[in-house]
Amino acid sequence: MGVLAWALAAALLAPQEEPASAGNVVVRLPAGWKSERKPEGLYLSPGDLREDQSYVVIVSPGGKAEGTLAEGLEKSWKEFEGSGRITNRAPGRETKTEGGTDGLFSVGFLETKDGSRLILGIALFKPADRFEAVIAMSPQDPVFAKYSGDFAAILKNLRFKNVELPVPMDLFVSADPASEPTVLALFKDGTALAALPEDGFDGFNLAEAKRRFEGSWGTHEAKDGEVRVKAGERSLALRAQPDGSWKSADNVPFAKVDSATGLKLDGRYAVKGREGKPESSNLVFTPDGKFEDRGSSPPLAGTYEIANNTMRLRFPDRVKHVSFVALPKSGAVLINGLWYVRQP
């Protein structure tokens, strides 16, 4: 597909106001923007474009990083030279995502072989050993300038799955929503935490957490086909089952869970009662990133985003971070230490 066709294709995107995922990259869309996955990457576009306007942001498929950021950015620009001549290209300017991933950003013009002209903005980031490129383009300078703020916000809020957890860990949770949850975070340095931070694991700092949860730390080791954990007052041995689940020595089921980054929920979730009956408190989630707390008085509503076993709840007047764990097989989710079960 030609670069001008890339820009014009933005008008065909369907509305979507939610975090969107493309390979290793999780993108938070500005309000009113649209997204669509295509072979060339994830296409993003403002929802308020007029018929005579065109603007598109493309999150390209990333890959293994070869060389420095500057060398990678130069290679990204050269890929456009097959479509025409690059002019007035600005030097790469250092940028950084909210999560701390370094990048370079540059703007220039592409004079295509068919006589058209595009203004391009290329941002290249290097999360760990990968390159991830995000490209903004428009044939109209005023339109490009109009959405420069939204583009900057997209770049600032990018998340990369391969570096989302600053400290590698395995997270285990007891898999019975009818009982009190037991959560075990096992870190690569051999330490174990028998507690779930109230604000989740997004931005988790190991050294700080060792002070914050001083009485809940211990050790873990793998031995004789078991994962043995001693943390705080707990001593557990977990053994893997043929179906991929885990069980403790006293037959309590456990699940090894992922970070749930980019997960979208759909439906009404109620707190699991002690006797297996849902309580009145419940939350309603929609796949477009909205939620409503119908258990509050008056009901609260806002938007949600999930990353690193953390749910970010955005209210009109504040943002709140709470812990989040999902059990895909049962449909239950653990939010802020309480089990919620999806209702029919």
Topology of 267-342 in CATH? Lipocalin (2.40.128)
DSSP string, 52-84: T---EEEE---EE--S-HHHHHHHHHHTTGGGE
Beta-carbon neighbour count of residue 214 at 10 Å? Answer: 9
* pLDDT, tens only, 230-267: 987 778 999 999 988 899 989 999 999 988 888 899 99
Peptide bond into 177 cis (omega under 30): no
Give the integer Cα–Cα distance in Å for 191 and 218. Answer: 6
Give the integer Cα–Cα distance in Å for 9 and 17. Answer: 19
Exposure on the CB side of residue 203, measured as CA atoms within 13 A: 11
Local confidence band at 285 (pLDDT 50, 70, 90 cut-offs): very high
Q: What is the dihedral of CA 323, 204, 96, 306, to 10 degrees?
A: -20
Q: Check residue 171 and give its pLDDT.
A: 95
State the average pLDDT over residues 216-228.
92
Question: Pairing between strand 234-240 and 246-248?
Answer: antiparallel
Q: Check residue 71 and give its pLDDT.
A: 95
DSSP 286: -
Distances (CA, A) of 341 to 98, 178, 304, 336: 32, 10, 18, 14
pTM for the model:
0.64
Tokens representing residue 321 in the block: 């971070």
Rg (CA), the chain: 23
- Cβ proximity of 140 and 33 under 8 Å: no
State the average pLDDT over residues 322-338.
90
| Environment class of 110 (CB within 10 Å of its CB; exposed 0-12, middle 13-18, buried 19+) | buried
Share of the chain above pLDDT 90, in %: 56
Share of the chain above pLDDT 70, in %: 91
CATH class of 3-163: mainly beta
Topology of 169-257 in CATH? Lipocalin (2.40.128)
Tokens representing residue 157 in the block: 């809020």
Q: List the single range of 56-60, 74-78, 135-139, 203-207 with lowest mean pLDDT.
A: 203-207
* pLDDT, tens only, 175-200: 988 888 999 999 988 999 999 999 99
Q: Check residue 344 and give its pLDDT.
A: 82
* pLDDT at 14 exceeding the cut of 70: no
State the average pLDDT over residues 114-137.
94
| Residue where the block lists tokens 């174990």 | 192
State the average pLDDT over residues 69-82.
93
Please name which of 14, 18, 15 lies closest in space to residue 307, comparing C-alpha atoms: 18
Q: Check residue 247 and give its pLDDT.
A: 94
Give residue limits of the domains in the chain: 3-163, 169-257, 267-342
State the average pLDDT over residues 303-322.
90
Q: Check residue 303 and give its pLDDT.
A: 92
* pLDDT at 18 exceeding the cut of 50: no
Tokens representing residue 246 in the block: 């885990």
* pLDDT at 10 exceeding the cut of 80: no
**In 223-286, which residue ranges form alpha helices assigned H by DSSP?**
none
State the average pLDDT over residues 309-320.
89
pLDDT mean across residues, the chain: 87
Local confidence band at 279 (pLDDT 50, 70, 90 cut-offs): low
* Same CATH fold assignment for domains 3-163 and 267-342: no
